[in-house]
Amino acid sequence: METKAHIEEHHVGYTTYVLVWLALMVLTGITVWVSYLHFGVFNIVVALLIASIKASLVALYFMHLKFEDKTTWIFVLYPIVLLALLIGLTAVDVFFRTTP
Amino acid sequence: MEEIGIDVHAHHHVDPVVEYKASKLGMWLFLATELLLFGGLFAAYAIFRAKYPEMFHEEHKELDRTIGAINTVVLICSSLTMALGVASIQRGKKKLLSLFLLLTILFGIVFGINKYFEYGHKFEHHIYPSTSIFFALYFMMTGLHMLHVLAGVLVLTALLILSLKGKFSENYYTPIELGGLYWHLVDLIWIYLFPLLYLIS
Amino acid sequence: MANHTVAETIHVPYLEEKGILSWILSTDHKRIGIMYLVSISTFFVLAGIAALLVRLELLSPGKTIVDAHTYNVLFTFHGSAMVFLFIVPGIAASFGNFLIPLMIGARDVAFPRLNLLSYWLYLLGTVIILFSLLKPADTGWTFYTPYSIQTGTDVILLTFGVFILGFSSILTGLNFIVTVHKLRAPGMTWHRLPLFIWSSYATAILQLLATPVLGITLLLLIAERVFGIGFFDPAKGGDPILFQNFFWFYSHPAVYIMIIPAMGVISEVIPVFARKPIFGYKAIAYSSLAIALISFLVWAHHMFVSGMSEVAATVFSFLTFLVAIPTAIKVFNWLATLYKGSIELRTPMLYALSFIFLFTIGGLTGVFLGTLAADVHLHDTYFVVAHMHYVMIGGTVMGFFAALHFWYPKMFGKMYNEAVAKVAWFLVFVGFNVTFFPQFILGMEGMPRRYADYPPQFHTLHEISTIGSWILGLGILIMALNLLRSLTNGEKAPDNPFNSLSLEWQIPSPPPHENFEKIPHVTDWTYGYGKKNNQEG
């Protein structure tokens, strides 16, 4: 019963993949273009935002994350939270230290 | 002789559906560890970029945006061919799978060649990991990533050989999917490395 | 009223096949578990001998047996081997491997070949680490920068060895998580899982997600020395505090990697010998997970005196208390399980009770250290050494000994001599306290750690401590001889000598290769002692 089920649910069409690829290419173009503009600190924010959109596209469609179960999602999201913690708390420590 | 019977049994200790799902979960967990492995470098990047904004701004100009952009495109294309490879074997198209695997591998090799020239160029200009914090980050991040590309190409080559031998079908393609997941992660990390290292305005 | 199916017809005990190849090429989780058990026990003994030598040097002020450099090498070996080769893989790899499939009703772990690869990596890592001792590092087990990038000793090899071990640990954790998610027997719901499984699961998450950060840290350390990058070197614009942040991001969770499996063991042993259902099952189960989650937040409290900002220090001080809560929940529930139980003082139970007592002391002194003001005063004194050993020996090692005496009959199909085992327990318990309690006092009097020499006013306490280490060593020697002798001379063990309800005891001792002839269908949790026990018996 389940044998059939798992094969059905992962059939993503070729067209979808090509569309995702197109989006990735366009976003790459945008990210290069944006880097020539001057937003000050917002440059990196915009760059990371675009990178994250691209990464999400890769994960959701190419990696089929969209069709995965809750367990997989938890094990994808929790490490990202940890990564944010690692970067965030280390930064807090480095920049708010009283003694140099 | 009973041991033999049990050994055979041991190889099929779970049914194929469970094995398929277990393998995929296992791969995702592995990818999580990869993310945190690179995470240390991203944390170091964040700290030092905040500490030395001028250094990052000045020294990143030494990097070749064009090669960086080309490599980004190459990896995105390789991700597409990989995804198409999985899609073809899901539909039972074995030859198409081999073709897409081959393309993915070629893209991976092109990426490597570009990196080879890029590194060579840096060394010619006497830029080494010890030159500055920025270049230490550059070499560590892209170097670790390059190792992953290399590992990915090796894995995909092994999969290509198995595919040519006709090991995969619409009923069994777990290794292809796992290899694909790994390859996409390599692409995914580069998606961040490119703007962080090459596109500092 | 668990409906356990017992294998009767096919009975090929997993220990039957002989020859070294049948072991080192085996993908049987039970054999891999035993190989880990043998390996970690070996390193426990070797590192223990190094500790005895360290204590012997400290018997009197000035040079007793070795010079300061040899002393540094000895305690680096003691620390590195105990931490990386014994305690971190420890219970999780040995008993975890052996028990997880048995307890959840599976024939093996999810990826048996990967499991064998993990063991080989563990061996490779240990070989590299031991090889590095030919030209030993003297950094202590924390490899703190900048000293670790300047010292002339061979840090790279040691670091690389630890890196390989970390990889092994990641793969083991990955395997266990998938196994628990995907291979539970029908009816084995999450809330019917033995608590040892919950603790193994929580440990596996920590191993999986904390170890990569250690990996990259060690890689960077190697790159500092090989390529001359300067992330951690202030002279090159780097920041040594960055290293400490990374290091403790791994090492604080690692403290829980070391202790949570032991807590799982205690949760299994206590209900069996109190003949009562475990009290607060869900609280214990979820507190394991809670520890796994919170411990990632607590890492930086190890750096209070390394120059952390006051705000950050206060936040982490609070988080340190937070992690004490799930620990306290467990201790409370164990005590509640013991309350009015018909307690049977078999050897595993004695170790379990010692765990509760000693670990509570370790935990309380930890909270004491977590308090900002006290920490600044006691940092890097013997107080920290004593606290650490109350947690590691009083906690993990007691848990390990409890597990060893509890599952020994299942693992080897033999019974050990109960009276001798109890004598050994008594010596271990007394010897441990005589060794380490005086060190609390030494710390409060200001004796700094890590020195081969000390002023004469500390002499008496050091002397007591050294004598304690001899009692402790004797106790462990007697235990080891008792267990080894029983392998050949012990009585044949029944399938279920302690009347446990858990799945692993419902199959033969030692279990057959395939564990279960037929995968059991589970209908109840494993702690139905008391009224249900009568029906079972």
**pLDDT tens for residues C380-413?**
789 989 988 998 899 999 999 999 999 999 999 9
pLDDT at B71 over 50: yes
Mark whether A27 and A73 lie in a shared domain: no
% chain C with pLDDT above 70: 87
The secondary structure of C106-164, three-state, reads CCCCCCHHHHHHHHHHHHHHHHHHHHHCCCCCCCCCCCCCCHHHHCCCCHHHHHHHHHH
Phi, psi (rounded to 5 degrees) for C4: -85, 130
Number of domains comprising chain A: 2
How sure is the predictor about A10, in pLDDT bands with cuts at 50, 70 and 90? low
| Distance from C-alpha of C391 to C-alpha of C364, rounded to nearest angstrom | 10
Best to test chain A binding among C308, C311, C314, C372 (most A CBs inside 10 Å):
C308
Q: Which residue of A has its CA nearest to C250?
A: A86
| Distance from C-alpha of B160 to C-alpha of B180, rounded to nearest angstrom | 12
B196 dihedral zone (left: phi>0; alpha: psi -120 to 50; beta)? alpha
Mark whether A43 and A77 lie in a shared domain: no
Mark whether A63 and A88 lie in a shared domain: no
Mark whether A9 and A53 lie in a shared domain: yes
Mark whether A76 and A91 lie in a shared domain: yes
Element (H, E) at C230: none
* pLDDT tens-digit readout, C320-331: 666 678 888 999
* DSSP structure string for C294-361: HGGGSGGGGGGGGT--HHHHHHHHHHHHHHHHHHHHHHHHHHHHHTT------HHHHHHHHHHHHHHH
| Tokens encoding C82 | 């105990």
What is the second-level CATH architecture of the domain B35-198? Up-down Bundle (1.20)
- In the prediction, which pLDDT does C62 show? 82
Number of domains comprising chain C: 1
Cβ separation A14–B87 shorter than 8 A: yes
Q: Which of C27, C212, C246 sits opposite B33 (nearest CB)?
A: C212
| Distance from C-alpha of C181 to C-alpha of C197, rounded to nearest angstrom | 11
- In the prediction, which pLDDT does C377 show? 73
Mark whether A17 and A34 lie in a shared domain: yes
- In the prediction, which pLDDT does A6 show? 47
| Average pLDDT estimate for A71-95 | 88
More confident residue, C180 or A13: C180
Cβ separation A59–B28 shorter than 8 A: no
Cβ separation C219–B136 shorter than 8 A: no
Rounded to two decimals, the ipTM of the complex is 0.90
Mark whether A11 and A50 lie in a shared domain: yes
Our CA-based measurement puts residue C182 at a distance from the nearest CA of chain A, in whole angstroms, of 11
Chains that touch C (3 or more CB pairs under 8 A): A, B
Please state the domain extents for chain B. Answer: 35-198
Domain with A15, as residue range(s), is: 2-67
Closest CA to C498 of C415, C389, C400: C415
* pLDDT tens-digit readout, B113-140: 999 999 999 999 999 898 899 999 999 9
| Distance from C-alpha of B10 to C-alpha of B13, rounded to nearest angstrom | 5
Establish, for the pair of chains A and B, how many residue pairs have beta carbons separated by less than 8 Å: 132
More confident residue, C317 or C333: C333
Mark whether A41 and A73 lie in a shared domain: no
| Tokens encoding C41 | 């026990």
Mark whether A44 and A93 lie in a shared domain: no
Mark whether A30 and A63 lie in a shared domain: yes
| Average pLDDT estimate for C248-263 | 86
Best to test chain A binding among C207, C209, C246 (most A CBs inside 10 Å):
C209
* pLDDT tens-digit readout, C479-510: 999 999 999 999 999 999 999 999 999 999 99
- In the prediction, which pLDDT does A76 show? 95
Domain with C330, as residue range(s), is: 30-536
How sure is the predictor about C230, in pLDDT bands with cuts at 50, 70 and 90? confident
Task: Give me the CATH number covering residue C34.
Answer: 1.20.210.10
- In the prediction, which pLDDT does C314 show? 67
DSSP-derived 3-state class of residue C15: coil
Mark whether A52 and A78 lie in a shared domain: no
Our CA-based measurement puts residue C110 at a distance from the nearest CA of chain B, in whole angstroms, of 7
